[in-house]
Structure 1
Amino acid sequence: MRIGLIVAGILLLACVTWLATRVLVVKTDLEASQVLVDELQTKIGNGDFTSVSSTSQKLQQKSSSASAGTADLTWRAAELIPYVGTNLSAVRAVAESIDDLVQEVAVPAVDLAGSFDITARDPVTGGFDLTPLAEAKTIVASAQTVISQSLARVNSVDASGTVGPVKAAVEKLSGVLSQADSALTSAAPLVNIAGAALGAEGERKYVLAFQNNAESTALGGSSASYTLMSANDGAIAVAGQASSADFVEGVAVDVPVDQSAIDLYSDYLLTHSNTSTSRPDFPTAAKIIQAYWLRDKATAVDGVISVDPLALAQILKATGPITLSSGDVLSSDNAVSLLVNEIYFRYNSYTEGDVVDSFFSEAAAAVLDKVMSGSFDMKAMIDAITYSVDQGSIMMWSANPEEQTAFDGTRVQGVLPVANDDATVVGVYYRDTSASKIDYYLQTATQTTSDVCTAETPTFTTTVTLHSNLTVDQANDLPDYVKSFNFGAEKFRTQVFVYGPVGATVTDARVDQEGIETVVDAGSNDLGRPVAKFTADLAPGETTAVTATFTGQPGQYGSLQVRGTPMINPTSVSIESAGCN
């Protein structure tokens, strides 16, 4: 009996020693995995795909070792021990989840990214190789399943009775998985449509609309230059060029638009292609542009992409300078000034409009060719596009309703949120109505205050300031095409539209500083929001300021944000919401 107890004690000690050793090994492997995950994220974030494979292999080994360390019967049996078992079960859930993520998500994704070559072309079509996009669809679908299962596994762990480090690991992994699940939910629709959008299932035609921010409209500026692009089995080509002069003006296109939009922006919204971007809703603008191409060009387009000079300047940071046939070197430093200001000093657009249009078209085509060549810094390009989308300088719309839903909830969609839950958005938009290119010299600022975090029925007050950064002499020396077609250099007219939060009402609209003449126009409700409208006439060097106040309904309000027209001189934005974190 005594010998049996001694043997049992020795076996128990051996098991405890073995288990302690195994726990230490698993802990070491998990910590090493975390270091390698951070290293992998840094390399991918820096666009360093040359060494991600070796890091991925090390991560694969460590995560596999950690998971294997928790898989045997001794570990499972120890999970039945009070208190100790709770911690061991939690560690196993973490180890298994991390290993699943690494083996079934991270490794395939890294392998695909490492092998992807944007300069590679299909030997038959000469277009992009669409095979990686098909592989990406498979990887994303698998990742969604794995992450969903891992999240369920980790969330089923009761970490309340575990030691601090284990509890922290469970909570951290749960947070990471939740973020990954949300990110994939947003990314999956875009990945799923990418191949078809590039012509994998048949030719697509898109209009690239070039907005001129020197003549502001809500979405950016006058849309007067267009490039028709064709995408067929990955091969992308320029299929045509057009300017607003190529369309029949003064006759409305057949596009259903809310009466509220006509009341605010007049029938010019539908009767002139270059003012199609007047409403802060890109699907409206895109459908109008699509209708012009169908009516006047007999061309059915599958989507519209909007780009402005501010976005081109960002893209040129990634591609580097581009030399045009004129000898001009288009760069990130001079793209905006050259395309929306200097060109009008060089050519008289009233008599040499074709020359100016050709210059715009060549510049857009040259940048497009450079992008299509793949000869650029990938990380810099991703940063440029991400920034431009966030600023409202790049927007996209698809005529395919299913594909359009892929843009839902993203800034590339070019719409205001339909609720205040995630973010309480106030919109401030401008429209030049003096027929000029004067907004190159316009400076704007907004100051928004709210008690949204302390009041049951919150108020939102936005003050908008406009300043003409020109002297009288400078204004008189401007080319005629930059001056106002209506008023010369005497004054310039800008409309200001302040969109309040969803469900709010306008309770005050006033002029604080008049300029030559600033008036409060009839407000309205548009896009499910109250709108305060002002018309400001500014002489060179003058300043005007207007204020709109909105009162909201009781309800859920997200963080206060201000969105607006992407201006050449970026709008100074100030937000104060007392009591908010």
Structure 2
Amino acid sequence: MVRVVLGLVVLVVLLAGFMAWQAFSAYRSAQQANTAIGDFRVRLLDRDVPGAKKALSRAQDETGNARAALGGPLWGAASTLPSIGDDVDAARRLTATTDDVTHGALPAVMTALSYVDPADIGLQGGRVDLAPLREASGQLTRAAVLLDDADQDAAAIRAEGLTPALRDRVVDTQDLLGRSSRLARTVSLAGRLLPDMLGGSGRRTYLLLAQNTAEQRSLGGIPGAIAVLRAEDGRLELVRQATAGDVGEFERPVLPLSMAEEGLYGPGLGRFPANVTDSPDFPRAAELITEMWQRRFGETIDGVAAVDPWALQLLLGAVGPVNTDAGRLTGRNAVQKLLVDVYRDVPDPDQQNEVFAQAARRVFDRVRTFPGDPAALTAVLAEGVEQRRIMVWSARRKEESILEDTELGQTLRDPTPDSPRFGVYLHDRIGSKTSSYQRVRITTEPASCGTTTSATMKVQLRSAAPLNRDLPPSVTGIVGRSRPGDLRIQVVAYAPPGWAITGVRASDGRRDLITYKHDGLQAGTRDFTLAPGQTKSLTLTMAGQPISSDFAVRYTPGTKPANVRVEGSGCS
């Protein structure tokens, strides 16, 4: 018996020593892989293809070694132990994900760059060379898909409770893969769409909506300034500018509105150009403004894009400042100057519109002729898309079907099946320019799990308007609808697919909520009036089919970013 016990002790010691050696081997390989991946990136940017291939080969060897070191059955068993199991499991999954990236996504990126040099796809002289993009499109798409898979794998690793060093490594990897995946999606989308959308197969005409988020709408703000863009053989030009007032109002909606659209947003959605962004569905807004434009001017429109001052500020951070009548706009001050200062310094609405139009034109010209690094421009464009401040719609069904599956398309329904995404959209109800004084906090958390899942969503609104109500008339809105300095906001909340709104509470004690079924989603709406310094809230309980993925919230991208907190995840 003693021999058996001693034998077991020796075996345990040997196994512990073997696992310690494997852990050290995995750690050493991971460190060397990080160095090799960094070298790969530098050499790739320097167009040193032979050097990049060698660096990638080293990275693949090291990530493969790390994966093998932690991939055996002993480590699988260790991942179930109560004290170290979470750390072991996280380390195994992290090394596997990194190995997948070095053997999948990175080779696809290198193959794509064998077709196209990033320096060649910049807007040189206002023109993009489309041929390399066509050739690289397949590999760019493959890299984007693989990076997205890796991003999801890494995001599924729970960093909470891990040892500090491992937790930091997990968080850093999640952040890096998240940014890389978003950038890859943007570049892949460009490879698939730009050759045709920039006129590679014939001239195109687009509307560019410059949203003014000072007056809030679901998609951001009113499209006060409109530009006509012409694309042909990779060259993009701004050929005309107008305002929503130039398009004018229509006696009846230009396209039939559903009962939900008319109930939630009113008939003005289809009658007034400034109201098309009331709809949180960008394809719908684009269809409406296209029909209005074509009726008014008889000009065929091939697509619509929209940007807001935050997007312009991001772009200026990459391409440099521009001078306008509102002053020098930079990557730090454009939002303040265009959404706050202009209403203090330029009281005439027509002159304000000219300031917005001029800013859009100057930024467009700077981007169009930007001689710098296209990668920097691509990165800020990806950030603008992620923040939902850049949107694109195509009148061509094939192109639009691609856009609808991306954040760039900004559809009402999440393209991901069964996604538990909540929607919160805000509207200014008095024609004011006060969204810069609005503070928004949205909290979503699960309430119960079972055959039916429920969750609560709380929308808190606070007014930061001056307590003395000292605001110019150009800011306070339509006289008679509210007291000057008040904020009057419509909240429209959407339940996820297959869910319903089952309970309502508000800080003012009212429980009324007008509900509609909009494009298969239940939506509820009510208005709030806030005096300066006042806070009000709306809490909704929603219930529906069981879900396993994390909750998400889509909301109006305002002048001031909303404070959004998602507590917990779906039921798994």
TM-score (norm 2): 0.74
> Which residue identity does 1:261 align to in structure 2?
E
1:216 is paired with a residue whose SS is: strand
2:420 is paired with a residue whose SS is: strand
**Which residue does 1:576 correspond to in 2?**
567
State the alpha-carbon separation in 2 of the partners of residues 372 and 419 from structure 1.
Answer: 31
1:566 is paired with a residue whose SS is: coil
2:253–2:269 contact (8 Å) kept in structure 1:
no
1:434–1:493 contact (8 Å) kept in structure 2:
yes
State the alpha-carbon separation in 1 of the partners of residues 330 and 540 from structure 2.
Answer: 39
1:59–1:102 contact (8 Å) kept in structure 2:
no
> Which residue identity does 1:330 align to in structure 2?
L
List gaps (5 residues or longer) in structure 2.
Answer: 1-28, 63-99, 148-179
State the alpha-carbon separation in 1 of the partners of residues 463 and 101 from structure 2.
Answer: 57
Residue of 409, 412, 421 corresponding to 2:408: 412
**Which residue does 2:205 correspond to in 1?**
205
- Flag the 1:484–1:258 CA change in 2: closer, same or farther, 3 A: same
Q: Provide Cα deviations, 1:66-116, integer angstroms capped at 9, x if missing partner.
A: 9xxxxxxxxxxxxxxxxxxxxxxxxxxxxxx99997998454323344463
Answering whether residue 458 of structure 2 is matched by residue 463 of structure 1, we say yes
Answering whether residue 331 of structure 2 is matched by residue 332 of structure 1, we say yes
5 Å matches for 1:68-217?
105-114=108-117, 116-119=119-122, 121=124, 127-137=127-137, 139=139, 190-217=190-217
**Which residue does 1:440 correspond to in 2?**
436
> Which residue identity does 2:504 align to in structure 1?
A
State the alpha-carbon separation in 1 of the partners of residues 334 and 447 from structure 2.
Answer: 41
State the alpha-carbon separation in 1 of the partners of residues 103 and 471 from structure 2.
Answer: 65
State the alpha-carbon separation in 1 of the partners of residues 512 and 136 from structure 2.
Answer: 52
Q: Provide Cα deviations, 1:279-312, integer angstroms capped at 9, x if missing partner.
A: 2110010101111110112111111111011111
**In the TM superposition, what is the alpha-carbon distance from 1:388 to its structure 2 partner?**
1.5
- Flag the 1:378–1:406 CA change in 2: closer, same or farther, 3 A: same
**Which residue does 1:548 correspond to in 2?**
540
Q: Provide Cα deviations, 1:426-484, integer angstroms capped at 9, x if missing partner.
A: 111100011100111111111112146x33211121111111102332x2x32211012
5 Å matches for 1:413-562?
413-418=409-414, 421=417, 423-451=419-447, 454-473=449-468, 475=469, 477-485=470-478, 486-489=481-484, 491-513=486-508, 520-553=512-545, 555-562=546-553
**In the TM superposition, what is the alpha-carbon distance from 1:579 to its structure 2 partner?**
7.8
2:220–2:277 contact (8 Å) kept in structure 1:
yes
1:229–1:236 contact (8 Å) kept in structure 2:
yes
State the alpha-carbon separation in 1 of the partners of residues 460 and 108 from structure 2.
Answer: 50
**Which residue does 1:223 correspond to in 2?**
223
**Which residue does 1:15 correspond to in 2?**
none
Q: Provide Cα deviations, 1:317-354, integer angstroms capped at 9, x if missing partner.
A: 11121122x3711012211111122111122234xx1x
2:311–2:384 contact (8 Å) kept in structure 1:
yes
> Which residue identity does 2:119 align to in structure 1?
F
- Flag the 1:116–1:577 CA change in 2: closer, same or farther, 3 A: same
**Which residue does 1:168 correspond to in 2?**
none
1:437–1:482 contact (8 Å) kept in structure 2:
yes
State the alpha-carbon separation in 1 of the partners of residues 201 and 60 from structure 2.
Answer: 40
**Which residue does 2:317 correspond to in 1?**
317
1:265–1:278 contact (8 Å) kept in structure 2:
yes
- Flag the 1:503–1:104 CA change in 2: closer, same or farther, 3 A: closer
2:264 is paired with a residue whose SS is: helix
Answering whether residue 399 of structure 2 is matched by residue 403 of structure 1, we say yes
1:472 is paired with a residue whose SS is: coil
> Which residue identity does 1:498 align to in structure 2?
A
Residue of 370, 374, 378 corresponding to 2:370: 374
Residue of 355, 360, 371 corresponding to 1:359: 355
- Flag the 1:139–1:242 CA change in 2: closer, same or farther, 3 A: same
- Flag the 1:33–1:260 CA change in 2: closer, same or farther, 3 A: same
**In the TM superposition, what is the alpha-carbon distance from 1:549 to its structure 2 partner?**
1.2
1:559 is paired with a residue whose SS is: coil
1:537 is paired with a residue whose SS is: strand
State the alpha-carbon separation in 1 of the partners of residues 266 and 105 from structure 2.
Answer: 56
Q: Provide Cα deviations, 1:493-543, integer angstroms capped at 9, x if missing partner.
A: 1000111111111111222247xxx77341112132111212001122211
- Flag the 1:402–1:506 CA change in 2: closer, same or farther, 3 A: same
Matched-pair identity in %:
27
**Which residue does 2:340 correspond to in 1?**
341
Q: Provide Cα deviations, 1:256-295, integer angstroms capped at 9, x if missing partner.
A: 4332111111101111111101121100101011111101
> Which residue identity does 1:564 align to in structure 2?
Y
**Which residue does 1:172 correspond to in 2?**
none
**In the TM superposition, what is the alpha-carbon distance from 1:357 to its structure 2 partner?**
1.9
1:423 is paired with a residue whose SS is: coil
State the alpha-carbon separation in 1 of the partners of residues 122 and 181 from structure 2.
Answer: 31
State the alpha-carbon separation in 1 of the partners of residues 145 and 565 from structure 2.
Answer: 42
State the alpha-carbon separation in 2 of the partners of residues 99 and 550 from structure 1.
Answer: 42
1:306–1:393 contact (8 Å) kept in structure 2:
yes
> Which residue identity does 2:467 align to in structure 1?
V
**Which residue does 1:286 correspond to in 2?**
286
Residue of 52, 60, 70 corresponding to 1:56: 52
- Flag the 1:376–1:253 CA change in 2: closer, same or farther, 3 A: farther
**Which residue does 1:274 correspond to in 2?**
274
Q: Provide Cα deviations, 1:349-399, integer angstroms capped at 9, x if missing partner.
A: 34xx1x222221111111111111123443432332222111111111000
1:104–1:142 contact (8 Å) kept in structure 2:
no
2:404–2:410 contact (8 Å) kept in structure 1:
no
Answering whether residue 257 of structure 2 is matched by residue 264 of structure 1, we say no
List gaps (5 residues or longer) in structure 1.
Answer: 1-29, 67-96, 148-179
